[in-house]
Structure 1
Amino acid sequence: MAYKDEQLNEEKVFKDPVHRYVHVKDQAIWDLIASPEFQRLRRIKQLGTTYLTFHGAEHSRFNHSLGVYEIVRRIITNFQGRPHWNNEERLLCLCAALLHDLGHGPFSHSFEKVFKLDHEEYTQQIVLGNTHVHTILERVEPGFSQKVADVIAKTYADKLVVSLISSQIDADRMDYLQRDAYFTGVSYGHFDMERILRVMRPMEDQVVIKATGMHAVEDYIMSRYQMYWQVYFHPVTRSAEVILSKILHRAKYLFENNYTFKLKPTHFISFFTGNASLEEYLKLDEGIVSYYFQLWQEEDDFIISDLSERFMNRRLFKYTEFNPNQQMNDWMELYRLFQEAEIDPEYYLVVDSSSDLPYDFYRPGEEEERLPIHLVMPNDDLKELSRNSDIVEAISGKKRTDHKLYFPIDLIDNLDDENLKKKIKAILADKKV
């Protein structure tokens, strides 16, 4: 029997709090899960610094990746025998679903921004590079790893396969909304996934939804909207992300200016210099990063010591609403006053912005074109979701943006110069801190 078709002697299952069970029958999937590159995802949190806001949010990219795999497994089981579904793509879909987040680094998006990295590019490097994952994929058939990389890069020829993992209603979103809701303890992310899976239909270029399932999809989209604003963009989580990114910026600055660390930051040097190898990237996980943060609390440099202590002990920055279009003069005055107070505004006066577009219809030529969700009507015509749903139409194409100004209230309170303290607090009070 070819490795591509090789099955385990008996089905393996992972007990899962969201999907009850994750079922594995393919030998290739079992081997990929056991690979060092996939096991590394146990050491990368799914929600970065969110555990400092919602203490239950300690789940990992490993949990989530298994969940996405399980949803895709259920979808393609339902697709068996339907028009437009090519069962030859089954294992490719399962592998791409399992491996789609393989390239995430520690604290994911915050880490990426500081060092100008792209986790999707790293995912493709892991799939195509000198890794256990690559070896396993090439055993399926020569060139199979390139197919998986193409699906993850959204360049694979069969767009139906891509849409299962990356679209406005995909397995990735369906898992993380429910999983993140479960572990944060909120109710927003829950929707009737079983109903959505039952009404999904394969078409030539994408998954479509049977018209009778429209209300379940409305619920899914509103769940996503609520999760972004109540969980993903929570201002306390963003405060932790601001401090995390400023620690890494400060460490990079100190390294570039020949500061002598008490412990040489060996694991970070290639990131500071911008030439990290794939092997070095894979060695860095959140345990390593937290170890350095723990030690950097003892550094002689006040800024890295103070920021590291804040992060490790959850002594976060305060925040207030901020409109960059109307309040830049206030920000410039605060910047000047912080400098006068010897509180470095580069690290202690930070504007953070978050924005989200919960659903969009097709806008040809625009950046990040989004294929809309289509309903298949009783006469087999396709109709774009927002044309049938008043709820979805109300939020379609509407990008919401939120700005916050972050600062350390304790350093302001401890200023000896009472006049300077009053000036700073007067501006902040005007923003209702």
Structure 2
Amino acid sequence: MEKVLRDPIHNYIFIQHQVILDLINTREFQRLRRVRQLGTSNSTFHSAEHSRFTHSVGVYEITRQICDLFQRNYPTKKPNDGLWDDHERLVALCAALLHDIGHGPYSHTFEHIFHTDHEAITASILTSPITEVNHVLSRVSPTFAQEVASVIQKTYPNPQVVQMISSQIDADRMDYLLRDSYFTGANYGTFDLTRILRVMRPYKGGITFHISGMHAVEDYIVSRFQMYQQVYFHPVSRSMEVILNHLLKRAKFLYENNTLDTEITPQLLLPFFENNFDLTDYLKLDDGVLTTYFIHWCDSSDKILNNLAKRFLNRKPLKSVRFSSETAVLLPKLRLLVDKAGYNSDYYTATNDSYDLPYDAYDPASKKQRTQIELMQDDGTLVELSTVSNLVAAITGKVSGDKRFFFPKEMLAKSNQVEVFAPIYHEFQQYIKNGHINSLNN
């Protein structure tokens, strides 16, 4: 059998196994159509409406292409020769397709508030007998669901399969960079996928790239760096995440204190407010469910919940300003002024740091070890990317990003706009100006 899905990134996505089609048609996978890939980023990039579903089938397609190339060019000849054993294809394809199935609504903010773990939930969806996904996987073999889960958990014994899905240059990252770049309209994430796939090859330690493709790999590293700086860390998107975070936090607080309006009780969120949820509760949630509750909360008698819901739904981001370890001493005073102006600083201010390591060479002493990118030379020996690329060496191990203080836009009002609070607003603005907290955004 072969079916195709039209796709703006890969043109066609080829479905060549019945099990892949059956997995796509499960209720758990179809839920991903209702979870945005980029969370709140559509507040900044209006066309970023793509879903976890579209990304997941894209990761599957890149993995399928890698398997095809490996089988055509590097098929195993004898056991343990480090070449590609095509018996691994199905587990790789299923892991690629299902790697994000555990993401919740507005995933990272939701995880932070309710202490969920999308990777652990992914493993549960794959291995729990209550899911359609598990039933499909179990038809392959009794142990197949656990094998697929172990790829995502990085414990599967074949490092080639693991690194296809999870490494510093993998099918997951390659798809989301290209896809997010396309749907945001930001061209920073484009790189030569075709060339990278052509120089990719298996070896005993996992996956390497022929040194002739070094410049394509460099381009990928720089693209990833630029996307984090220009798209993923955009201050408006982070501001909307802060509002979403505080909105959910306020609703949880009101529920715990029996002051949440009973006529707009968010029934599907109650197991999470009570920290007593199961997989069935989790799978009922998507972006639309939360958005529906936010619409209800616009009518709440609680002024903070009401206001935060309106700010989130109507795109009224907080302002933000960069701060450093030196200027952080000013933040308590700024919070106090926000309180004096009538805004609860617990809900209308926040600090947020967003940092990314564009590329990291392997460090055995590191707590979070990363699989470094190896290049294969013509004689078969391997060299680590940053030792031969001056461009990558320049950003290796260098964390990029910033720390921001978020506050209501109203704090920047002119004195003639808010006569009653003019001194407070003026003092707040002077602290920002004279305290050298700079780079105002939003």
TM over 0.5: yes
Query: For structure 1, which segment, 268-277 or 54-63, has the greater mean C-alpha deviation from structure 2 after superposition?
Result: 268-277
2:44 is matched with 53
Give the deviation of 1:415 after TM superposition.
Answer: 7.0
SS where residue 264 of structure 2 aligns? coil
Structure 1 CA distance, aligned partners of 2:4 and 2:299? 45
SS in 2 for 1:416: helix
Q: 1:370 is paired with a residue of what secondary structure?
A: coil
Which amino acid letter does the alignment assign opposite residue 72 of structure 1? T
Residue 302 (structure 1) shift: 0.8
The answer to whether the aligner puts 1:73 opposite 2:85 as a matched pair is no
Counterpart for residue 28 of structure 2: 37
- 1:8-51 Cα distance to aligned partner (Å, 9 max, x none): 2xx10000000000000100000000000000000000000000
Q: Does 1:119 align with 2:123?
A: no
Question: Cα deviations across residues 55-88 of structure 1 (Å, max 9, x unaligned)?
Answer: 0100000000000000000000000143421111
Q: What CA distance in whole angstroms lies between the structure 1 residues aligned with 2:419 and 2:23?
A: 56
Match of 2:88 in 1: 89
Secondary structure of 1:46's aligned partner: coil
Where in structure 1 do 4 or more consecutive aligned residues deviate above 4 Å? none
The answer (yes or no) to whether the contact 1:341–1:415 under 8 Å persists in 2 is no
Say if 1:111 and 1:260 are closer, same or farther in 2 by CA, change over 3 A.
closer
SS of residue in 2 equivalent to 1:363: coil
Distance in 2 between residues matched to 1:292 and 1:240, nearest whole Å: 17
In structure 1, the partner of 2:184 is 184
Query: Could you tell me which amino acid in structure 1 is paired with residue 113 of structure 2?
Result: V
Matched, 1:13 2:14: no
Equivalent residues in 2 for 1:107-186, closer than 5 Å? 107-129=106-128, 130-186=130-186
Deviations 1:287-339 (A, max 9, x none): 0000011111111111111111011010111111111x112221011122223
Aligned to 2:14, which of 11, 23, 36? Answer: 23
Deviation at 1:411, TM superposition (A): 5.8
Cross-structure match for 1:270:
271
State the superposition RMSD in angstroms. 1.2
How many Å separate the matches in 2 of 1:208 and 1:410?
A: 53
C-alpha distance in 2 between matches for 1:231 and 1:200: 28
- Contact 1:82/1:202 (8 A) holds in 2: no
Q: For 1:372-403, what per-residue CA distance to the aligned partner results, in whole angstroms no more than 9, with x for missing partners?
A: 10000000000001111100010011112311
Identical pairs, percent = 48
TM-score when scaled to structure 2?
Answer: 0.94
Aligned with 1:231: secondary structure? helix
Quote how far apart the aligned CAs of 1:114 are. Answer: 1.1
Secondary structure of 1:188's aligned partner: helix
In the alignment, what sits opposite 2:370?
Answer: 370
Range with bigger deviation, 167-176 or 403-412: 403-412
CA–CA distance in 1 between the matches of 2:140 and 2:375? 35
Partners of 1:181 and 1:357 in 2: CA distance? 19
Q: Which residue of 1 aligns with 2:79?
A: none
Alignment-derived partner of residue 391 in structure 1? 391
Tell me the secondary structure at the aligned position of residue 187 of structure 2.
Answer: coil
Q: Which amino acid aligns with 2:62?
A: I
Q: CA deviation at 1:412?
A: 6.2
Q: What is the alpha-carbon distance in structure 2 between the residues aligned to residue 92 and residue 417 of structure 1?
A: 63
Map 1:269-348 to 2 at 5 A: 269-323=270-324, 325-348=325-348
State the 1:418 CA deviation: 2.3
In 2, are the aligned partners of 1:37 and 1:102 still within 8 Å (CA)? yes
The answer for unaligned runs of 5 or more in structure 2 is 77-82
Could you report, residue by residue, the CA deviation over 1:229-274 in whole angstroms, capped at 9, with x for unpaired residues?
Answer: 0000001100110101110000111111111323111111111111
Structure 1 CA distance for aligned equivalents of residues 305 and 384 of structure 2:
51
Runs of 5+ in structure 1 lacking a partner? 1-7
Give me the whole-angstrom Cα distance separating, in 1, the residues matched to 2:342 and 2:12. 56
Closer, same or farther: CA 150–415 of 1 in aligned 2, 3 Å = farther
Helix, strand or coil: the match of 2:378? Answer: coil
